[in-house]
Amino acid sequence: MDTIRLKNQLLEDSFIYYPIGIALYNKNGEIIDVNRAIYTKYGINDKADFLINNLFTTSLLSDLQKDHLRHGSMVKDMSVISFSVVPALEKNGNIMGYTLLLTDSPISDIAIRHERLSRDLLDLSEKITESIPDTILLVNKHLIVERIIAVASETRITPATINGKLYDIPGYLFSEEIIARFKETAHTCLEEERVMLMDLSLPRTNSQSLTHLKIRAVPMQRKHIVVYIRNITDIIEKEKENQQLSERLSESRMMMELALQNSKIATYSFNFDLFNQCDRVNCQRCFQFHGAANELLLKNKYICRALTTLRHPDDRNDFFFLFKEMRDHKLKEEKVVFRMKNDDGIYRSYEVTGKTQEYDEEGFPRLIIGLIIDDQERLEYEASLIEAKEKAETADQLKSTFLANMTHEIRSPLHAIVGFTDLLNTEEDQEVREEYMNLIKMNNDLLVRLINDILDISKIEADMMTFSYMSVNVPLFMKDIYGTLRLRMPDNVMLILEPCPDIVLLTDRSRLSQILINLITNAIKHTAEGSIRFGYQLIGTDIEFFVSDTGAGIPEEKLDQIFSRFVQLKGAKQGIGLGLAICKGLVTKLGGEISATSKVGEGSTFRFKLPLYRDPKAM
C-alpha cells in the first residue's frame, strides 16, 4: 500500500510540476484538472477559467476533430494555441478520458528538439498519408469500422462510416453477393494472417454509374484488419476506352485493307532526282505505280510519254502538272482532276493527290507520294445521289403533309362527339337528348371510318377499295349532315342547306358522308365570314352535289393541283391536301367526277356528280 501511495504521489507531483502545460478531461470532455504550467502561462486562478474547459463545446476544435476524439483518435491544433489531445483507453478499448498537452510552452532544449523531431515525423506521416490515394480504415473482426486512419477524397468515405459495417458504407449499394465476399475475405485474412485483395464495382445511391474500388485487407494481430480502399474508376474507364480504341483501330485497319483490295485506287511515287537524271533514252523509273488503276499506264515503259496519248486533249492538268506545281510553289499537298483513256479506250475521270515526303537543301520537294483514284463512278454516283436527294426531299414533304392531314381528318368527327357529349350533359329534353346521342353515335362511327379511310388511301389507287352500296334517302341524309356540322360553324358564318328534292340514291352512304363532310370542313376552315351552302340537283341520270362558300378562294392556276395526294397550297390551312385527295379518289371509285371553281377573295365551289344507279357487280 505504501508503494502505491508513493507512486500516486510521484505521479501527482510530476503532473503538477511538469514544465509543459497539461490538462485532464473525463470521457465527456469536461475538464478535471490542470497543472501549474497552465496556471502560470495563462494567469488563471481556477481550472474552469482555462480557455478549453470542455473539449466538445469549445470553438477551438472543429466538428471533425471532435468526431475523431469520440472515436479514439488523437488530434492536434495550432490555430490559436498549439496543443494536442490524446484519448486514454481502457483495456476493453473504451475511452476513459483525455489528456491535453500544450506544445508551445517554454521547455528544455532537449524537449524542444524532441518536439520538433516528433512534429517533423508527424508532418511527414501526414504528408505521406495525404499522398497515398487510399482511404485507410481500421476494422475489427466483425467488420465494424473503428477508426479512419486516412481519407482519400476519391473514395467519398465520410466520418459517418465509423461504427458502421464495412459493407454499409454510406453512399454505396452492396448486394448480398458482395457482402458474402467481404465476410469470406475478412475471415481468410484474419485466420490465415495473409493480405487479401478484392476488386469491386459498386453502384452509388445517387447515380446509375458504377464506382470501381480496389480493396487491400491487411491482418493485424488476428483482431483487426487495416483496409486500404482505392478508387480505380478512372483507370478502369481508361482501360475500357483504350480497349474500344484498339478494337476500332483494328476494325479500321481491316476495313481499309478491304477497301483498297476492292476499290479502284492505286498509289504512286515520283522522285525528282531520278527524273532529272533521265536522258529520255534510258528510263530511270522516276515514276513508280503500285496497283492497277490503269493497265495502259502499267504497260507503258515511259509513262511521261504515254500520258500525252492517254490524257484527254481538252484537259491541261495531269501528273506532271501536279508535280511542277508542288515543286515550284513548295506545296506540301495538292491534287488535280483530269480525264484519262481507260483500258477499253473510254475516257474516265481520275483524281490524283500528291503529298511531299522529302525535301532538298533549298526546301524543294524531292519525293512525292500519292493516290490515283478512278473518280468516274463517284461522279456518276453523286449525280444519282442528287436525284435521290431530291426524291427524298419530296417524299419527306409528302410525309409531313400526310401527318398533318391525317390529324385534320380525325379531328372533324372527334370534335362533334365532344361537342354533343357536352350538350348531352346539360340538355333535359329527352327528344333532344336522343337526337344528340344519335349524332354522337353517327360521328363515332364516322371517326372509325375516317381512320380506316386514311389507312386505305393506298387501296384507292391500287383499285382494292371495297364499297357497300345501299339505297340512300338523300333528303334525310343531307339533314343528318347538316345536324352534324351546324354546331361547328364560326359565329360569322352560316351553314345553309338548300332545298332537297326527293331522291333515292344507290351508293355507299358512309363514303358519300365522308366526301361531303370533308368538303364542308374545308369550306369552314377557309371562310371567315359569310355563308356555306350545300345541296344537290338532278342532272339527267346523275345527281350533282355541291358545296359553295364565301371564303378566301383559290388561285385559278392552282385549281389543277388541289386534288393531288398530299398537296397543300402555300398559305393554305391544314387539311386541304389529304381531304380533297380522298374525296377525288372516293368520287372516282363511286363512278363520278369532281371539280372546283374559285375566285380569290370571293369563295369556292366544289361539285361532284354520281350516277343515280350503278350496278355494284360491274365495278
pLDDT tens per residue, range 243-261: 888 888 888 767 755 655 5
Please tell me what DSSP assigns to residue 498.
P
Give the model confidence (pLDDT) of 487-542 as tens digits. Answer: 888 889 999 999 999 999 999 998 899 899 889 988 988 888 999 999 999 998 89
Measured CA to CA, the distance from residue 136 to residue 473 in angstroms comes to: 93
> Please, where in the chain does CATH 3.30.565.10 lie?
402-618
Structural class in CATH, domain 263-374: alpha beta
Q: Residue 109, exposed/middle/buried by CB under 10 A (0-12, 13-18, 19+)?
A: exposed
Q: What per-residue string of b and e applies to 233-258 under the rule 16 or more CB within 10 Å gives b?
A: eeebeeeeeeeeeeeeeeeeeeeeee
Which superfamily, per CATH, for 2-129? Answer: PAS domain (3.30.450.20)
> Please, where in the chain does CATH 3.30.450.20 lie?
2-129, 132-231, 263-374
Torsion angle of the four alpha carbons 534, 536, 537, 543, in this order, in degrees rounded to the nearest 10: 150
Among 95-99, 131-135, 368-372, the least confident range: 131-135
What is 402-618's CATH number, 3.30.565.10, 3.40.50.620, 3.40.950.10, 3.20.20.240? 3.30.565.10
Which superfamily, per CATH, for 132-231? Answer: PAS domain (3.30.450.20)
Nearest partner of 514 among 429, 442, 430, judged by Cα: 442
In the chain, the percentage of residues whose pLDDT exceeds 70 is: 79
Give the model confidence (pLDDT) of 449-498 as tens digits. Answer: 567 656 656 666 666 777 888 999 999 999 999 998 988 888 899 999 99
Query: Regarding beta strands 530-539 and 542-549, do their DSSP bridges make them parallel or antiparallel, or are they unpaired?
Result: antiparallel
Measured CA to CA, the distance from residue 516 to residue 546 in angstroms comes to: 9
**Helix, strand, coil shares of the chain as percentages rounded to 5?**
45, 25, 30
Beta-ladder partners of 99 = 24, 86
Nearest 5°: phi and psi at 134?
A: -120, 145
Query: Given pLDDT bands bounded at 50, 70 and 90, which one contains residue 98?
Result: very high
Q: Which one has a higher pLDDT value, 602 or 17?
A: 602
